[in-house]
Structure 1
Amino acid sequence: MRLPAPPTALTDQLLADQRISDALARRDVGTLFSLVHEEAGMSFNKISEACGIRAERVSKIARGEAAVTSLAGLERIADGLGIPGIRLGLATRPWEAANTPTTAPDTVGGDDPMKRRNVLRGALAAGLAGPGLAAALSNTRNDFDAALAADHGPNDLGFWESTAERYGYGYHGQAPADVLADLIEDLLELKPLLSQARTVKGRATLCHVSGQMVGMAAIVLHDLGQHREAHRWFATAGRAAEQSGDQLLHAWVLGREAMVPLNYGAHQAAAQLAERARYLAGDKPSAASALASAVASRAYAIGGHTEQAQTAVADVETLAERLSPQQHADTWFGYPMQKHHVHMSQALTHLGESGRAYETQKEALRLSRAPSYMTRALLAIDKATCRAHDGDRAGAAHVASQAYGSLPASYRTGLTRTRALALYRALPADTPGLEKLDEALTLAR
Structure 2
Amino acid sequence: MLGYWESTAERHGYGYHGQAPADVLSHLIEDFTEMKPLLAQPQTDKNRTRLCYVTGQMAGMVAIVLHDMGEHREAHRWFTTAGRAAEKSGDRLLHAWVLGREAMVPLNYGAPQAAAKLAEKARHLAGDKPSAAAALAAAVASRAYASGGRTDQALGAVTAVEELVEQLSPQQRADTWFGYPTQKHHVHMSQALTLLGQTSRTYETQTRALELSRAPSLMTRALIAIDRASCLAHDGDRAQAAHVAAQAYGDLPAYRAGLTRTRAVALYRALPEDTSGRRDLADVLEVAA
Task: Give the match for residue 268 of structure 2.
Answer: 424
Deviates more, 1:318-327 or 1:191-200: 191-200
- Using the alignment, how far apart are the partners of 2:208 and 2:43 within structure 1? 48
- Which residue does the alignment assign to 1:284? 129
Among candidates 179, 189, 192, match of residue 34 of structure 2: 189
Q: Which residue of 1 aligns with 2:168?
A: 323
Match of 1:402 in 2: 247
Q: TM-score scaled to structure 1, two decimals?
A: 0.64
Matched, 1:352 2:211: no
**Partner residue of 2:207 out of 350, 362, 374:** 362
Measured in 2, the distance between the counterparts of 1:357 and 1:294 equals 14
TM-score (norm 2): 0.98
For the residues of structure 2 that align with 1:170 and 1:357, how far apart are their CA atoms?
A: 25
Identity, % of aligned positions: 75
Q: Deviations over 1:242-297 (max 9, x none)?
A: 01110100000000000000100101100000000000000100000000000000
1:412 equivalent in structure 2: 256
Could you tell me which runs of 5 or more consecutive residues in structure 2 were left unpaired when the two chains were aligned.
Answer: none
1:247 aligned partner: 92
Q: Which residue of 1 aligns with 2:142?
A: 297
- Residues 360-401 of structure 1, C-alpha deviations (whole Å, 9 max, x = no match): 000000000111010000000000000010011001101000
Counterpart check, 1:179 vs 2:31: no
After TM superposition, the structure 1 = structure 2 runs for residues 187-266 of structure 1, keeping only pairs within 5 Å, are: 187-266=32-111
Counterpart residue number, 1:79: none
The answer on 1:167 being equivalent to 2:9 is no
Residue 306 of structure 1 corresponds to which residue in structure 2? Answer: 151
In 1: Cα distance, 2:184 partner to 2:221 partner: 11
Instruction: Summarize deviations over 1:175-234 as a string: whole Å, max 9, x none.
Output: 001111111111111111012242001011011000000000000000000001101110
5+ long unaligned stretches in structure 1:
1-155
In structure 1, give the amino acid aligned to 2:143: R
**Whose RCO is larger (CA < 8 A, sep 6+)?**
2
Instruction: Report the AA paired with residue 413 of structure 1.
Output: A
Structure 1 segments of 4+ aligned residues over 3 angstroms from their partners: none
SS state of the match for residue 330, structure 1?
A: coil
User: What displacement does 1:429 show?
Assistant: 0.8
Q: Output one character per residue of 1:95-151: Cα deviation in whole Å (capped at 9) or x when no partner.
A: xxxxxxxxxxxxxxxxxxxxxxxxxxxxxxxxxxxxxxxxxxxxxxxxxxxxxxxxx
Structure-2 separation of matches of 1:179 and 1:198: 29
How many residue pairs match? The answer is 287
- Residue 423 of structure 1 aligns to a residue whose secondary structure is helix
RMSD over aligned CA atoms reads: 0.8
Instruction: State the alpha-carbon separation in 2 of the partners of residues 385 and 418 from structure 1.
Output: 13
Determine if the alignment matches structure 1 residue 335 to structure 2 residue 180.
yes
Q: Find the counterpart in structure 2 of residue 267 from structure 1.
A: 112
Structure 1 residue aligned with 2:279, among 435, 439, 444?
A: 435
